[in-house]
Structure 1
Amino acid sequence: MSVIQIKVQADFDKPIFIYELKNNSGTTVKITNIGATITSVLAPDRNGKIEKVTLGFTDPLYYLSEKYLSNSPFLGATVGRYANRIAQGEFQLNGKKYHLAKNNGDNHLHGGPEGFFKKIWDSTIENDKVVMTLLSPDMEEGYPGNVKVITTFSLTNDNELVIDYFATTDKATPLNLTNHTYFNLCGKKSQILDHELMIFADAYTPAVEAIPTGEIRPVKGTPFDFTEFHKLGERARQLDAEIYDHNFVLNGREGELKRVAIAREPLSGRTLEAYTTMPGMQLYTGYYLDGSHQNEGQKIESLEGFCLETQYFPDSPNNANFPSAITTPDQPFKHTTVFKFGIDN
């Protein structure tokens, strides 16, 4: 395992870096401290060919460009304070109503327009791990509490990309951190509809216009039943707007590191397993990618990547029957997600 730090020459208040993690099999992960963002993952196929299996930009400064920030798909970013949506941009906590920035119609999405995805994080290398730190002040984007976030990235020789999240606060506050990488195991520009996916979840949270109704519903008999392998495009016509952008209620206990999904791409033989300690996971199939961004001359277009966003449920602060997403001074946020790359022979 090797980790190197590359300084990007740019005129900003903090230095900008790219970190490259590489293991013995040639799997390589690149991360920038802009948004604690995974810019690329390169992994071998069944013939040993190493190709990029994520969507992102070669130039890290593009993540700070006006064009990108005005229409950000959060490619590879660490998002927070609250990943996913909070309805009407408001919640009540300890008898007080809080109002958040609205950046998704009438709703709050992924921490708001000044969320963690656009911050320049402090960063360093410690024991072959990339450690990124961010301070979020009290009432930033409307959230109570001074929050310190530490996100640690490491790569094992078993092709496991490990993301450890830890955060503390001096006031009770909603906190929901995830990584928003888009995967495409083909290793080339293509749609992801023929990727096969299994999710270890017997239930999901139905939503209306992406906001959960509060119900937890069994997946059996619905297009959300991935308890056996199904192609991502197989049942799209049964969905509203032919899009997966839904939260799954993961089997197993919160706090227990468990395998929650397996994706495989038949032509390349590449596989991706997801493990997490979180109680939920958002499956998003990249429907709203619209070609407005490009990397190395290629447009990033609809349905060219899928996300497995491990998380607390969307709008949890407004649903008492959902797992609590409140971090307190006595109960820090501490979760782990692992993405393991492999080959299906």
Structure 2
Amino acid sequence: MNKTTSRITCQHWGEYTGEPVYLFKMENADGAYVELSNYGATLVSAVVPDMHGVCSNVVLGFPSLQAYLDDDCYIGSTIGRYANRIGGASFKLDGTTWHLENNDGENTNHGGSNGFNTRVFKYAVTAEGLFFTIRSSDGDGGYPGSLELTVHYMWTDLNELIISYYASTDKRTIANFTNHAYFNLSNDGTKIFDHTLTIHAGSVLQNDADYIPTGVVEPVGNRRLSDTSIKNKMMMNETHITGLNDCYILDEQPGTYHKLAAELTEKRSGRKLEIFTTYPALMVYTGDYLQSGHLGHHQNPYRPFDGICLECQHYPDSPNHSNFPTTVLNPGDTYHESIIYKFGIITL
């Protein structure tokens, strides 16, 4: 991977809870760029070329800070302390049961209603990119331990957005961070139905009706995605469309640090997105519940299936399943995971 970073500029975007919020722009040598904010350590836009060399935005987002303050769909944001769901809004660690906010029925989702997506991060701009840092106190959201998270963004001349997560704690806790970008490579206001998706996974988690894992890891079967049109995996009738909301267990790829997790393509624009990660799993969510009261980048409010989330992460509800890889973070250890979004053009 090319680690060349780009020119970074910033502008004042507003204030929240008395703290200044900024909009940052990272532009590479070819003029492609991403915009980010220290509110929620959020990816606001990714402006990349199509097959004709025309640059346009391929992630859902808003032109104003207020829209993000009112958003409850986590658009583009950093998720923490724990990405995805924890069943029963509780978990046991070292004999103590920790009770979390049940912001998703009886369960907790994405760290609760006051998760990291709603926080103003400190920031630093260096030659290595853009760093967002947040400190979360012991008991914040119901989680044990004082935790510090740094999210490092780099934007390269190969149109790669590299996201690295570093966290530490003073008490045993659980941690799981991801980015909640919604992708739409067409940039013409159409939905994601004609995108094609490949996931490099041979198994998936079995879930109950509330998307809580049962603990069973099962073969991918008919949920396999291999250059598959997204609309062909949806269930449709005259009144309702049910999309995808599945956690795929990524195949091991010996000899590689970053696994190739997924490839998303859109043929009319010729755009391609490759996703590489150190995480063991990928959550695929087609935005079934997507809603916004504000206009997005294309001057339309967002609705279901306007974008697809491809969330690299640890398994959901891991603390409640001893057979899942642990998400416990110990004092003295450093949490370190990374995600690479590589934008390119389909080659025929």
SS of 2:66's equivalent in the other structure is helix
In the alignment, is residue 268 of structure 1 matched against residue 255 of structure 2? no
Distance in 2, matches of 1:122 and 1:78, equals 14
In the alignment, is residue 172 of structure 1 matched against residue 172 of structure 2? yes
Distance in 2, matches of 1:20 and 1:323, equals 36
Distance in 2, matches of 1:252 and 1:16, equals 39
Check the 8 A contact 1:291/1:302 in 2, yes or no: no
Of residues 21, 45, 51, the one that matches 2:50 is 45
Q: Which runs of 5+ in 1 are unaligned?
A: none
TM-score using structure 1 length? 0.94
Q: How many residues align?
A: 337
TM-score using structure 2 length? 0.93
Moved more, 294-303 or 22-31: 294-303
1:281 alignment counterpart:
282
Offset at 1:216?
A: 0.4
1:136 alignment counterpart:
136
1:229 alignment counterpart:
227
Q: How does 1:175-190 map to 2 (within 5 A)?
A: 175-190=175-190
Of residues 22, 26, 29, the one that matches 1:21 is 26
Cα distance, 1:11–1:76 mapped onto 2, change above 3 Å: closer
Cα distance, 1:34–1:11 mapped onto 2, change above 3 Å: closer
Cα distance, 1:291–1:134 mapped onto 2, change above 3 Å: closer
User: RMSD of the TM alignment (CA)?
Assistant: 1.8
Offset at 1:193?
A: 1.0
Offset at 1:236?
A: 1.1
Give CA deviations for 1:247-291 in whole Å, capped at 9, x if unaligned. 100111799311110110010000000000000110000110135
Distance in 2, matches of 1:11 and 1:278, equals 32
Give CA deviations for 1:184-233 in whole Å, capped at 9, x if unaligned. 0001211101100111100000111211111001113x1x201x210111
Distance in 2, matches of 1:128 and 1:270, equals 27
1:317 alignment counterpart:
319
**Identical-residue share of aligned pairs (%):** 34
Q: Which runs of 5+ in 2 are unaligned?
A: 1-5
AA of the residue aligned to 1:333 = Y
SS of 2:117's equivalent in the other structure is helix
1:245 alignment counterpart:
245
AA of the residue aligned to 1:104 = D
Check the 8 A contact 1:26/1:44 in 2, yes or no: no
Q: How does 1:251-262 map to 2 (within 5 A)?
A: 251-252=251-252, 256-262=257-263
Check the 8 A contact 1:205/1:247 in 2, yes or no: yes
Offset at 1:15?
A: 1.5
1:194 alignment counterpart:
194
Distance in 2, matches of 1:39 and 1:11, equals 17
SS of 1:234's equivalent in the other structure is helix
Distance in 1, matches of 2:89 and 2:66, equals 30
Distance in 2, matches of 1:206 and 1:303, equals 23
Moved more, 287-296 or 116-125: 287-296
Check the 8 A contact 2:265/2:271 in 1, yes or no: yes
Check the 8 A contact 1:2/1:128 in 2, yes or no: no
2:84 alignment counterpart:
84
Moved more, 161-170 or 247-256: 247-256
Check the 8 A contact 1:253/1:279 in 2, yes or no: no
AA of the residue aligned to 2:172 = A
2:157 alignment counterpart:
157
Moved more, 327-336 or 26-35: 327-336
